[in-house]
Every structure is written in C-alpha cells, then in structure tokens.
Amino acid sequence: MWHLYFVLDLASLSIPFIFSFHPKLKFYKLWKYFFPATFIMMAFFVSWDIIFTQNGFWGFNDTYLSGYRLINLPIEEWLFFICIPYACLFTIYAFKDLWPKFAFSNKLTKIVYYTLQTIFIVILLYNFDRWYTAINFAYAVVLLGLVFNYMRSALNIFFPVFLVLLIPFFIVNGFLTGSWINEQVVWYNDAENLGIRIGTVPIEDSVYALTMLLTIFVLMEKFKEKYPSKTEEIIK
C-alpha cells in the first residue's frame, strides 16, 4: 500500500487535468495565474507543514508512502499542495464559467461571512493554546476579513462552490485519516487540535482547505486583473 497517498494525489488531478483542455473550459489558459498563486500559497502552508511535522503536531505513516522526502516532508505531501488545489480551482472556475448563477447573493454572503467569523473567533479565544487550531483559525479570520473588505464578490462565488468541494474533500481526507483503510496515512496529535472529527477527519482540516483554496483563488483573480489575457484586453 506504499503508493496510496501518491495514487490519491494523481487520481484527484487526473480528470480535472484532462478536462482543462475542454473548449468550453480552457483552464489551461489560467495556468499562468494558477501556478504563481499556488507557489505563493505553498510558501506559507508548506513552511507551516514542515514546522508542525518537526514538532509532532502531525505526521505520516511510512506504510503508505514511497519513502522519498524533501525537507522532512514526503514527496506525496508536496504533490498534495499542487494536485488538490488544481482539482479544486478547476472546479471553481468551471462553475464560474459554466454556471455563473451558482453564486450567493450579497446578503447571503454577508450572513455566511459573519457567522464563520463569529465561530472562528470564539473557538480561537478558547483554544489559542492548541497550535493547529490557533494557527488555522487565526489565518482564516485574517484572510476572510481581507477578502470580505476588498474582494467581496470573490466570496459570492467561492462559498457555494466550496460547499460542493467538501464532498470530494471528505472522501480524499477520509482515506488519508484512516477511513476505509487499516491505518492512517496522516496522523494528528489531538492535543494540538479540538479533537472533533467528522468521520476520521479533524474539523480543522475543513478550515485548512477553505483558507488554502481561497488564498489561491483571490490571488488568481488579482493576477487576472493585473495581467489580463489578450482576449480580456480586447473585450475591455
């Protein structure tokens, strides 16, 4: 089973990559925005990952890994930060282009935003001594606050599609955290999180996914605005 994490990475990437060249989607044209945005995200998230791994806040089961590591992280974990965001951002832009009405109203976005911020802040205040919870929720509070105040329309699109993405997210993360297999691929030190799980997935992972994907999405939108394609320039 050493290949399981690697297979999950590639399986998540495969169909979105193939359909990136579909004439109605053409996600490949957004690669020039996706990869810089993803590498910026990785600068923060991978650093965080390395530090948490070194301190035993979480770790990896070698039974499901190839054995190759880079800066103390399995190569599969590095691929995770490219394959999973690629699949998710492809999905976000597919909804954005093909079903533009699949979006929250300004009023609903505001309700969701204030609800999430209230939950995150309350949890953060009572769990600042739990590293995964504290860093995860603090970043979510800051990121959501910035996006809500400066790029609110991005949340109108992001929130509903993220709800859809939670379905494959819990399937993939379920495998990684021990659902349907004998052991965990990724284990967590519950002293550093809330200890609340949906199935086998720590509740913090859903917030982690939200901030990881939202970081890339808003950066891509900013890059598109600053460096529009020739087609977009003609339209303007």
Give a three-class secondary structure readout of 36-77: HHHHHHHHHHHHHHHHHHHCCCEEECHHHCCCCEECCEEHHH
Residue 133 has pLDDT above 50, yes or no: yes
> Is the predicted pLDDT of residue 231 greater than 80, yes or no?
no
Give the mean model confidence (pLDDT) for residues 171-178. 95
Confidence of residue 230 (pLDDT cuts 50, 70, 90): low
pLDDT level of residue 232 (50, 70, 90 thresholds): low
Residue 236 has pLDDT above 70, yes or no: no
User: What pLDDT is stored for residue 234 in this prediction?
Assistant: 46
Q: Find the mean pLDDT for residues 194-216.
A: 97
